[in-house]
Amino acid sequence: MSGEPLPDWVIPPPGGFTAEDLLRLPGLPPHTELIDGSLVFVSPQQKWHSRVINLLVRELDQQAPDGLRADREMTVRLAKRQAPEPDVIVVTREAYERDEPSTFYLPEDVVLAVEAVSPDSEDRDRDTKPRKYAKAGIRHYWRVENDAGRTVVYTYERDPATECFSLTGIHHDKLAITAPFTVDIDLTTIGRRAG
């Protein structure tokens, strides 16, 4: 050890970190999330992960109705100890355009949360995050997976009676749905230049 003090985020406080802590701690690695009061660090993105995010942000932003906008990799402050960072989100235009808060969205801003699954995020993206998104009131969730080079999108809608997501479809090659708004995306174009 060089005798330099450790960053504030190396040792968690009693009871774990809060969303406020996450938003103010200096020197955190990019895309750090807060799940159950613990900081979660992500591994470097693979090309597929980055490309699927690019495609979805572009297509969702173009196809969304006027009152909605797509954004990428922004923290959503779900609760005191829950502040995940979905890969893609669709939010209200009002939330997208407001200046404060500038570093996160609130659950009521979010119409759709999307996670592109990486090897290190399988459990979080398949189980932990969807449960937390549904509990916070986010109505739509998509999980995107790379199945041996073929992109598959699992779409979910929140059941208000159970506060859980229910599977509404499994989409290979083409994502064509009508909720939360009409979307038609050719999943085989991932990595291709738009236009």
Asked whether 72 and 88 are in contact (CB, 8 A), the reply is yes
Closest CA to 85 of 123, 127, 34: 34
- pLDDT in single tens digits along all 195 residues of the chain: 466 776 777 788 889 999 999 998 888 889 999 999 999 998 888 999 999 999 999 999 999 999 999 999 999 999 999 999 999 999 999 999 999 999 999 999 999 999 999 999 999 999 999 999 999 999 999 999 999 999 999 999 999 999 999 999 999 999 999 999 999 999 999 988 876
Asked whether 34 and 17 are in contact (CB, 8 A), the reply is yes
Asked whether 107 and 137 are in contact (CB, 8 A), the reply is yes
Q: What is the pTM of this model?
A: 0.92
Q: Could you tell me the CA-to-CA distances from 82 to 85, 133, 161 in Å, in that order?
A: 10, 10, 22
